[in-house]
Chains A and B, each alone.
Chain A
Amino acid sequence: GAVVSQHPSRVICKSGTSVKIECRSLDFQATTMFWYRQFPKQSLMLMATSNEGSKATYEQGVEKDKFLINHASLTLSTLTVTSAHPEDSSFYICSAKTSGGKTQYFGPGTRLLVL
């Protein structure tokens, strides 16, 4: 149980385009989902927290207009990287929390390369 999937697993795009990453909880309802970013050879850093049906809460230094987060249902959250640039190339990982629970379950990650 408690499986989280991400799609796509990897994506390559041209500079200036927008990319959408999906995070799904497959066998549980996730009232809260989290988005992390990992730069090469670094640890994972929390970008934002999204609650179903409300606006996401962004960590300091993360541009909310650049990283659009939508959590429209209890099983799906999306992260859209708008007008992507090479410096946005990174590994993006989501996690999800069950309603009433506190443990986060992590997805396998999405590797984004912006050319």
Chain B
Amino acid sequence: GIQVEQSPPDLILQEGANSTLRCNFSDSVNNLQWFHQNPWGQLINLFYIPSGTKQNGRLSATTVATERYSLLYISSSQTTDSGVYFCAVGVNSGGYQKVTFGIGTKLQVIP
């Protein structure tokens, strides 16, 4: 099956700093999503981004499908950004999309 790698595995930031999280995948995909899992476990969808660039406030994401990677940018980080960020890729299989998650990047933003 498809392999999804995320880097770095862990990241500690000072509040206000910027960061880039990376997701590499081993095969062509039909969809790509970025999620934030907060410390209470709730999974929040940040972006559906199979290609191109999207921005939402301090967050933006870019997926270069031809080169099989996606980047998530966090600017002016806040303590509430702490948690685990997952990249998940979707591959069409029959009538639905099979989603494979990466291992995640654990982000800790310190005041």
Contact = CB atoms under 8 A, between A and B. Distances in A.
A103 B104 contact: no
A43 B43 contact: no
Nearest to B50: A103
Interface of A is mostly: strand
Interface of B is mostly: strand
Interface string A57-100: 00000000000000000000000000000000001010101000
B20 interface: no
Given A43-B103, A44-B101, A109 B42 contact: yes
Interface residues of B, number: 22
Contacts of A49: 96
A108 B98 CA distance: 19
A102 B88 CA distance: 14
B41 A91 contact: yes
B43 A32 contact: no
B79 interface: no
**Of listed A32, A95, A102, residue having the most chain B CB within 10 A:** A102
A42 B6 CA distance: 13
B56 to A, nearest CB: 16
A91 B97 CA distance: 22
Interface of A: 32, 34, 36, 42-46, 49, 91, 93, 95, 97, 102-109, 111
